Amino acid sequence: MSLIEEPRSRVEVPVRPAPPIPYGMLAELTHRCPLQCPYCSNPVELDRRNVELDTETWLRVFSEAAKLGVLQVHLSGGEPTARRDLEQMIRHCVEVGLYTNLITAGVGVTPERLQSISDAGIDHVQLSFQGATAEMTDKVSNFRGAHERKLAVAREVRRLGLPLTVNSVVHRANIHQIPDFIELALALDARRIEIAHSQYYGWALRNRGALMPTRDQVFWALDVVEEARIRLKGVLTIDAVVPDYYAKYPKPCMNGWGRQSLNVTPSGKVLPCHAAETIPSLDFWNVREHSLTDVWLNSPAFNAFRGTDWMPDLCKSCERKEIDWGGCRCQAMAIAGDAAATDPACHLSPLHADLLALAEADAEGTDIYDYRRYFQPDRTG
């Protein structure tokens, strides 16, 4: 009998590659908002003020974000200026080396508050417009006088020397105003305009029949945007987000689940994308119990659809699997009832024809909005 033991067979344990470092974070500071936009993509059930993260927790999250490798943070909501500690957060972001972008509706922001925000070190302001005219803005936002207030804020932003992006969410009622939105951005001396078609999650899904444009409208809009990009190259950057329902290929949602960005809700849940809570099977870790790095690396929600291993065979065998990363998981959930299904926006999906039929039917729908009835904002905070 040999005194030397035979080597035992080794079981190869697959090593999961480390995910890429995120470079962007959406910080939803509050769900409080003075507007009632029917296309709002925030959850149907909003976080109330009494569950919002406190100042110190947000400051820790921003420090952890910078340590994780995040380069830019988008301060959003709801309406982020509803937080009285916004300037303190901005100053802290500057201290830890984060580029800060304020995403605001602008209607309640005074010149004095803008000066304070500028003094705190904000890098960029993104201002939403619901229409290119006062009539359209006020109708869609259900806020009388909103348009004129936004114009005043835009002018003040530029007077302070801050770069400005005009954000215009377009749908059936205002898609014809795209040329006017572009002219508005030029008149306001904006550096960039984002023309974003409504995305049908959260509250917007309820209003899909009142928002969905026709196929002809969408392709007309694409031609208008392309012509403007060529004409205004070097003058105005034009970004466009198209509605997936008329697409041939799905959009690379967030450039891949858990690959480049993360989102922190007002109550502290960390999401791979803004609409991820529409997938009921996912467990979202909270920054109250976990560090941001721990969530990014180890959260079951972030790892659920990261990479390509989770994909159905139709996607795994596709040469575009690392281009569109399987498309939108939330859209697959909304249309197919399965977040792991092939995105119905893909023309190879067995549900693609159903998606087109939905779009065509909704494009003939009512023009009556179910307005986003936010709870009354706390006037003291």
Q: What is the pLDDT of residues 31-57, one digit of tens each?
A: 999 999 999 988 888 999 999 999 999
| pLDDT exceeds cutoff 50 at 9 | no
pLDDT-above-70 percentage for the chain: 94
List binding-site positions: 33, 37, 40
Domain annotation for the chain: domains and CATH numbers:
19-372 (3.20.20.70)
Residue 3 burial (10 A CB sphere; 0-12, 13-18, 19+): exposed
**Which is nearest to 212 in space by CA: 171, 179, 254?**
171
Strand order across the beta sheet in which 261-264 lies = 237-241, 192-197, 164-170, 124-129, 99-104, 72-76, 24-28, 261-264, 270-271
What's the pTM?
Answer: 0.91
Torsion of CA 234, 236, 242, 248, to 10 degrees: -10
- β-strands 261-264, 192-197 pairing: unpaired
Contact call for residues 174 and 219 (beta carbons, < 8 A)? no
Q: What is the pLDDT of residues 217-249, one digit of tens each?
A: 999 999 999 999 999 999 999 999 887 888 889
Average pLDDT over residues 190-197: 96
| pLDDT exceeds cutoff 80 at 173 | yes
Tokens of 31: 């769900």
> In this predicted model, which residue has the larger pLDDT, 8 or 287?
287
Q: What is the pLDDT of residues 108-155, one digit of tens each?
A: 999 999 999 999 999 999 999 999 999 999 999 999 999 999 999 999
Contact call for residues 309 and 294 (beta carbons, < 8 A)? no
List binding-site positions for [4Fe-4S] cluster: 33, 37, 40
Q: Which of the four pLDDT bands, split at 50, 70 and 90, describes residue 254?
A: confident
Average pLDDT taken over every residue of the chain:
92
- β-strands 261-264, 24-28 pairing: parallel
What's the pLDDT score for residue 15? 55
CB atoms inside a 10 Å sphere around CB 235: 10
Q: Which residues contact 194 (CB under 8 A, 6 or more apart)?
A: 126, 165, 166, 167, 168, 239, 240, 241
What's the pLDDT score for residue 380? 34
Average pLDDT over residues 332-336: 93
DSSP 8-state secondary structure symbol assigned to residue 282: -
